[in-house]
Amino acid sequence: MVNDFFTEYAARSDDELLQLASDRASLTNEAAAALDAELSRRNLTESDQTEHQRFVHRMERREFRSRRRKIFGGGQFSWLELLWALVAMALISVAYLALPSRYHLNPEWQEAAVYVMIASVVIALGWRNLWRDIAFWMALILSSTIQLAVAHAWIQRRGELNRSLGKGATFLGFALFLAIYGIVWVLRRKSRRAETGST
């Protein structure tokens, strides 16, 4: 039995042994003794184990950040993206104002639509790496519709929204989008895992 451990550990890489050493509590006495003997034979010390653990934590953090970037876009909004967002909002506003007045929304809906436009344009430009994903557009449309209804209800109840409530109405769009797209992402991941498990 012990010889089996010696043979197995001799075939493993240094990194695998150091990883195993960090999870020593899960090993039997024989496995731990064989591991210690192999670590000693390769001159791998506790400082090597500590350095390996630091490396693993760094890689896990990097992977987490990478995964988060894939889901929520590339981090901070750049100045160029902000400029494009302002240009897009200006073009939408000019096109709306150019329409005959009979096509204009009621003032309550108009104010709500402004908050929806701000959130939608910023989301669309900030997460443009997801434009090919149909779930992105479904989440954006659904979150914008809910945001419009909620903002309109606030405006009906309070009259014109003050600055802080206006910011809240805009932020609601971001929160709704992240929640809806996050749910879709989790459901997709579970579905993929189920498919992988069944094959």
178: closest CA among 140, 131, 125? 140
pLDDT in tens, the chain (199 residues): 557 777 887 888 888 888 888 888 788 888 888 888 888 888 888 888 888 888 888 888 877 766 655 555 554 456 777 788 889 889 988 998 898 988 888 887 888 999 999 999 988 888 877 888 888 999 999 999 999 999 989 888 887 788 888 888 899 999 999 999 999 888 888 888 877 766 5
- The DSSP element (H or E) to which 154 belongs, if any, is helix 134-158
Tokens of 1: 């039995």
* 105 three-state secondary structure: coil
* 198 three-state secondary structure: helix
